[in-house]
Structures are given as structure tokens and as C-alpha cells.
Amino acid sequence: MAASRRLCDICETREFTVFATHWCPECEQSLCESCKSHHSAFKSSKTHETISSESFDKLPPSVKEIRNDCCEHEARFEYYCSKHEVPCCVECMKTTHAECRLLTPMHKVVEHFKTSNVLPDFEQTISDLISNLNSLIKGRFDNILILTDEKEKCLQDIEDTKRNAIAHLDKLEINLKTEIKVLHGQHLQAINETIKEFELLKTNLAKIKEEAEVTKEYASDFQLFIAFRELESTVKNIETDTHLLIKKESAKQISISFSPTIVHSIETLIPSLGNVNMIAKESDIKLVNHRGRRAQLLSVETPCIDKIQIKMVCKNIELARGNETDRVIYDSCFLSGGRLAFLDKLNKCLNVFNDNGEHVKDLQLPFLPKAIAVISESETAISGCACNKIIIIDIFSHVADLHDHSFVMDGNICALSFRKERFLILVNDIGFFITDIEGNVINEIPYSHTDILCAVLLDDKIYLSNWRENKIVCCDLKGIDILEFRDKELKAPVGITCSDIGVLFITGFKSKNIYAMSSTGKELKQLYSNSKLSRARAISYNSCNQQLLVSTEDGKVFLFDVSLY
């Protein structure tokens, strides 16, 4: 008590100075021993559980600041909104949470909370995280030791590589010098032999010259004539032999030189002794997770699929034909203010209607639209047929064009959805891309299966409809198929949407029906069947209003209220 030095709030209002010994979280007041006894006797507060002042002082400041009343309306928190995960008063229900359906009385939320599995689960989560962090920290220190060893090994390998390179260069030097010496010897020998042949011809020619001079001086005219003819023939033979000898390689000007194969320098040929590589791979540390599933402040259980019911809100709604051709509705969605939007492929427009079927306006599009995803109350994202572009448009504008905010993918877009500030985009022949609202890729997931028109991301899993094989497929964020779901009454599933509590809704394009399925795939139920649902393609779920919107390609519209429990 002396440690807190907190005064009793009730005594203080009566201008008495008495130290408090207890705190009432419900009344948000400090109490002395006397006031506590009265507090426990009053009808309005006798059920309140008080704590000692020392215990109150041990609470974190953030917990001490939690109030039971709404700071905006100064009214008691009476309900908890699961959609926004905040408490709300009666006035909040009329304003901020007017369209929220998942509102639970606060007393039901907090009763038995301390004895529920949520707190042990939360404590186990902290324990697991601490254990995981210890393992990860140890793994990082181990990695430092490994890096040190690998650094020394790399330095030694570099020295060995240098020595091997020098040894190889020494060997090349010896081979080249030997080759030059052999080449020099061969040509030297050939040139010397050629010189000898030239000398012999020279000797023979000198002898002929001498004979010609003697014959000219002492022989008769007849003898000179006959001898000259013979000498002339011999000289011609020597001339012929000389020309033949000149054509030999050994008679030509021979030189030897060294031309390095390294054109510029050793740096050009060998820019590096090797490459230093860094490889990052997933740690083999196994993280601890003893929790059955993620604990939440207000745990909203996945409803039993068998208990889900849908009730038609509007009957016989059918979109009118377009200006030039029949409508072909590829996708639809809920807009703010109770409006509905439909993508008309052939007429290249976005049709906006009220939920009673009253036409509001048409928004012209620059291409044949295929899929639509709601981003905010005023913005939607639209992809086109055989197109790699996604445009984000203002639904309050009158015309949409490519000058609006847009981004492109690396191939034609097959499917598009948007949940929790993330796009899920399926690109033909490549796979799934998870991007932010600007189109920046967060995760790329290879996936090669075809015949997929719709896909949604739910709890780190992708659910997609394979219409040709009459099945719903669930894959992980590595693109590996985990589960497949089929039902004999579900033919050519095309449209697929989901709620935040693990329920998927599916349209049967050929079976003319609507299915509900749990995210685990253990429960699958046909909710509605009607011959007018022929070619049912688009389906959208509104969590706030708990409504389901279904449309067929030829423009028939079905709006349902959904009862989940």
C-alpha cells in the first residue's frame, strides 16, 4: 500500500485523504478498506472483482490505460465487432459499425476467457517463439563459425589456384621455347643446304665462263659456233635450276616471332582466378509450434457447413441486353452503398445496379473485361481477356481508360482476386503472383495446371476451381497441390469466393447449383440448385452484410442472405 501511495477515489471526492488498498477494474476506481467493504455490499458492484493496489501497480502501463467506456461517445462498451476486432458501444453500432453483422455481446466475449484455451495457447505461443528465437540465434552463431572456416578454405583455394596457374604458365613457357628452338634448327639446316646448292650452281657457271673465254680466243669459227650452242644450253639449265631453287621455302626470307594468344594483357585473358559465391538456403532448424491453431482475441469458429442456409433476397432479376449485343457477364461483385457491379465482356463495360435490380449506370472499359476485384469503397481492379494489364479505376467516374492507375504482368492473366491488401493473380503458363496494391510482387508461385478461371487466397493457401476436371484444388504457397475436393453433383465449378471464417462458396457452371465448402474440405454441401443457374459463373460474398451474389453468363442475377450458424 505504501509503495503505490494511491488515494481512495471515493474518499477523495468526500475530501478525505485515505490511501487506497484495492482497485476495481469495472468501476475504474481506487478503494480503501472501508470503501471496499461498501463496494462489495452494493447491489450494482457486489459482483465486481477487485485487485490489490500492489497488483494493480504491477500491470503494464498499456493495460492500465484500457477503459471500459467509449472515448468518443462516453458510453459503456456493450459489444465486440469481430470484423474490425474492436469493442463498440451502442452509439458505435449505429454509426461506424452500422453494416457489421458479426457483433457479439461483450459479456459473452469476456466470460470464461481466463479459463479458456486462448490464454494457455497464447502463453504457449510466447514459449514457442522464445524457443524458436533461441534456436535461430544459435543457428546464426553457428553460421558465423562456419563462415570463418569457409573463409580460410577459400583463401587457401585462391593461393592453390594461383600456384596452379603459375605452374601452367611455366609449362607453356617451356613448350614455346622448345618449339622455337626446334623451328630455328629446322630452318637453319634447310637454309644451309640451299646455300650449298646455290654455291654448286655458281661453281658450274664460273667453269662455263672460263671455258667460253678460252674457246672464244683460240677456237676456229666453226668450233666456236658449235661449242657456244652447247654452252648456251648448259647455262639455260643452270638458270632453270636457279629459278626452281628460288621457289623453295628455304630460299625465301624466313623469320620467326612470338605472338601471344593474350591479345591485350594477362588481365584481359584471366580477369579473375575464380568467383566468390554466396549461397543462401533455408535453415534446417525445425521451429517449435505446439499450438493447435492460431489464438485470437475473439475466436470465431468456422461454422458447420451443414448449418449454413441461404435465402433469396431478390427474385427474377435479369440484366437487360447491351446496346449492340447480348450481355456476357464474366464477373460480379458488391460495391459500397448496397450496389452491385457486373462485368459485361462483349459490351466492354462495368454495369452498376442497386440490390433491387434498379440500373444505376454503365462504365465503359477500354478492353474486353474478365475479372473484377474490389479494393476500397471507391476503387476496383479489372483485368482483361487475353491481356497482361490490370487497371485500377474509380467507380464514380464515367469512363475508364488505360490512363488510370495500372500495372502489367509477364503474361496473360487468367484469374484475379483481392483480399487483405493483397492481389492474387494467375498468369497463364507461369503461375500465381501475390502482389501489393501497386503491383509489386511479394511472392511468385510456379503453377502449370490449366483450365483455371478463379482462385482465392485464404490462410496461406490458394483455392482454385478446375472446371474441366470438376474439382476444387487447394495448393500451398510453393505451388504444391495439397488437397482436391469433388462431389458428384458439382459439375464444372467456375466461380469461387470465400469468407474470413474459412467458408468457400462455389458455382457449378454445368450443374446449375451453388456449393459451400469448409477450408479443410471435410464438409461440402449444396446450398441451392435451380435450372436458371445454367452457366453460373460469377460469385461474390459480402462479409459485412452476409450476402451472396451469383450471376450467370447470360445476365441472370441471384442475391441471397446467408445464415452461417
Instruction: Give, for all 565 residues of the chain, the pLDDT tens digit.
Output: 344 578 999 999 999 999 999 999 999 999 999 999 999 999 889 989 999 999 999 999 989 888 989 988 989 998 888 778 899 999 998 888 887 777 788 887 787 777 766 777 788 888 888 888 888 888 889 899 999 999 999 899 999 988 998 898 899 889 989 999 999 999 999 999 999 998 998 999 899 999 889 888 888 888 888 888 888 889 899 888 888 888 888 888 888 887 776 655 666 666 666 676 666 666 666 666 655 444 443 444 567 888 899 999 876 677 776 555 678 999 999 988 778 999 999 889 898 888 777 888 888 888 899 999 999 878 899 999 988 999 998 887 655 544 557 899 999 999 999 998 899 999 998 999 999 988 999 999 999 888 899 999 998 899 999 999 999 999 999 999 998 999 999 999 999 999 888 899 999 999 999 999 998 888 899 999 999 999 999 999 988 788 999 999 998 999 999 988 6
Query: Domain locations in the chain?
Result: 1-66, 120-269, 305-564
The crossing angle, in degrees rounded to 10, of helices 118-218 and 221-246 is 170
* pLDDT of amino acid 297: 39
- CATH architecture under which domain 305-564 falls: 6 Propeller (2.120)
* pLDDT of amino acid 120: 79
> Cβ–Cβ contacts within 10 Å for residue 443, how many?
13
Task: Name every residue whose Cβ is closer than 8 Å to that of residue 227 and which is 6 or more positions away in sequence.
Answer: 211, 212, 215, 219
Q: Do domains 1-66 and 305-564 have the same CATH topology?
A: no
Contact 490, 515 (CB under 8 A): yes
* pLDDT of amino acid 404: 57
Q: Kindly state the DSSP code that residue 48 receives in the 8-state scheme.
A: P
**Residue 349, beta-bridge partner list:** 344, 364
* pLDDT of amino acid 114: 75
pTM of the model as a whole: 0.51
Local structure of 94: helix, strand or coil: helix
SS3 per-residue string spanning 297-363:
CCCCCCCCHHHCEEEEEEEEEECCCCCCCCCCEEEEEECHHHEEEEEECCCCEEEEEECCCCEEEEE
* pLDDT of amino acid 273: 67
* pLDDT of amino acid 300: 46
The beta-strand segments (E) located in 103-212 are: 103-105
- CATH architecture under which domain 1-66 falls: Irregular (4.10)
Alpha-carbon distance 425 to 428, whole Å?
10
